Homo-oligomer: A and B are copies of this chain.
Amino acid sequence: MSQVAYLSAGKREQTKVQNRQAILDAARAVFAEMGYDNVTVRDIIRRTGLAAGTFYNYFKSKEEVFAALADDGARRFAPVLKELRGQGKGFEAFVRDAIHAYFHFLEKEHATWAAQRLVSEPHPHVYGPTPEMGAVFAEVRAAILEETARGGPVADPDFLAGACIAVAREVGDRMLERRPVDVEAAADFAVSMIVSGLRGLPKAGG
């Protein structure tokens, strides 16, 4: 029994992992299509082809799937940001790199998300959170605050972080909606807006 344990861990375990992933994938898709609030557990499970009850073998609730997705996104994007921060290239370079990294991340990982706004037209859903965004935003915000602490603009940090995030998010969203997706152009625009915007704010000690 245990002599093959170092292999793929048996068919059962494999299926289990696959199912879990299937649920996560389905959840991501329906969250994107219908917006978190409008999604039901049944919507998620229906898309997987699994039985209704199976969902509850993996997650206790919609919230838990969402959290898992967010963790997932954070786990994958956080290292990138951390490395950028460690490079010590200065504030504007960091913003530039972070935005580019984020936009590339968005594009690579979630090309499918563009559907979100289009599909949800009939109901007044405007900004649906996507799980990874929440996680990513938290990271970006932390990074920005940290940079701010190092002699950056002294404007209200919450307003600042919020505004930067809002711009990146907004432009990133729109980027994904377009065909073809032009990451460079979108990132350049966002960087320009943010960097210029920051320059206009009062500096510490200035």
Contacts and interface: CB of A to CB of B under 8 A. Distances in A.
Contacts of A193: 160, 163, 197-198, 200-201
Interface string A166-206: 11011101100000000001100110111111111100000
A123 B128 CA distance: 12
B124 A63 contact: yes
Contacts of A171: 159, 162-163
A25 to B, nearest CB: 18
Contacts of A88: none
Quickly give the copy total for this chain. 4
A133 B127 CA distance: 12
A13 interface: no
A124 B156 contact: no
11 contacts: A63-B123, A70-B124, A124-B129, A124-B131, A127-B128, A127-B129, A155-B192, A158-B174, A163-B170, A189-B201, A196-B200
A37 interface: yes
A152 interface: no
A131 B126 CA distance: 10
A67 interface: yes
